[in-house]
Amino acid sequence: MLPNSHPTVAYGKTGLLLVNLGTPTSPDKKGLRPYLKQFLSDRRVIEASPLIWQPILRGIILNTRPKKSAKAYAKIWRQESNESPLRYYTRRQAELLQEVLGESVIVDWAMRYGAPSIDDKIKAMKDAGCERISIMALYPQYSATTSASVYDDVFRSLLKLRWQPAVRTAAPWHDHPAYIDALAQSVTQHIDTLDWKPDVIIASFHGLPQAYFDKGDPYHCHCAKTARLLREKLGMDDTQLKLTFQSRFGPTQWLQPYTDKTVVEMAEAGTKKIAVVTPGFISDCVETLEEIGIELQGDFKEAGGTHFTTVPCLNETQPCVDLLNTLALRDLSGWL
């Protein structure tokens, strides 16, 4: 290299980065502790003052919760590839979408918490010549705790770059026709595989502290609209498809009605057969496979229910790939 020459700079490429929540590296305390520490230190997730929250997190939660969470992950861990289902499906979604979009776009994936990090993937895409990068947080319903946290981290990564790419962030897609169609298709196809029919379908979304909704987070509204559109697509009413919220954490009030309490009360009142669909998750994960598929099923049957099934998330199905392709073309408009 001549004294005043510069290294070759890659340029002219467009990138698409899919981002999901995150995953531990292993289903044990060693894998869970750093993951939970990063997740529960996010000010978008826990809005309490760090002066109050961090001593609780470090002194109590990180000494008790990793063991409990590790047991849940161990039940659903993919042994054949030694990874969580969320990591597996997110990677597959990126690979399959890359096949559809072809060489015109570099498609990659990252996790908000854990590895591979957003920071590493942004840098890798920039090094590969991406002058334009579209970021798609894989949460259909927007919340400051999820979508905004992803995009915060993207912009923190850009702070480190002297030569930044142009960046776009995806709009929420809780009411996109392609998403509702894919959801409805997943429900009807799964129920068609059963030798029984559910009395009620539960649409269970991840919960959110009530206080966050009171401050203006649109998440509840997005979930309600998804549930309404799914009902309409399936030709049902709100007695046939019920909206609930799962995964409470801590003593404060969260969005209601709560999935676990609703399902137990239904069983005690005589409902025998239910199906649960989890529209807020595009990929199966510990919240869908363990919390719903194992724990909630046990609670329902213990309370008197007889038949319980969970509708798989969109995962790596063709409707999921078609949906992501539709969203990608929308967000990449003008760049391709």
Residue 204 identity (one-letter amino acid): S
In a domain, 5, yes or no: no
What is the number of domains present in the chain?
Answer: 2
The CATH number that applies at residue 144 is 3.40.50.1400
In a domain, 36, yes or no: yes
- Over pLDDT 70: what percentage of the chain? 97
In a domain, 294, yes or no: yes
Distance CA 190, CA 203 (A): 14
Q: Which segments in the chain show pLDDT lower than 50? A: 1-2
Nearest to 206 by CA among 261, 244, 262: 244
pLDDT of amino acid 2? 45
Half-sphere exposure of 132 (CA within 13 A, CB side): 12
User: The domain containing residue 50 runs over which residues?
Assistant: 13-173+319-331
pLDDT of amino acid 250? 83
In a domain, 7, yes or no: no
Q: Do residues 217 and 289 both lie within one domain?
A: yes
In a domain, 102, yes or no: yes
pLDDT of amino acid 3? 52
What's the order of all strands across the beta sheet hosting 13-22?
106-113, 13-22, 130-137, 166-169
In a domain, 231, yes or no: yes
Taking only the tens place, the pLDDT of each residue in 125-174 is 999 999 999 999 999 999 999 999 999 999 999 999 999 999 999 999 99
In a domain, 6, yes or no: no
Distance CA 261, CA 267 (A): 10
Distance CA 78, CA 76 (A): 6
pLDDT of amino acid 1? 45
Q: Are 45 and 149 in contact (CB under 8 A)?
A: yes
In a domain, 224, yes or no: yes
The count of other CB atoms within 10 Å of the CB of residue 140 is 25
Nearest to 77 by CA among 23, 115, 117, 116: 23
pLDDT of amino acid 7? 58
pLDDT of amino acid 27? 96
pLDDT of amino acid 11? 82
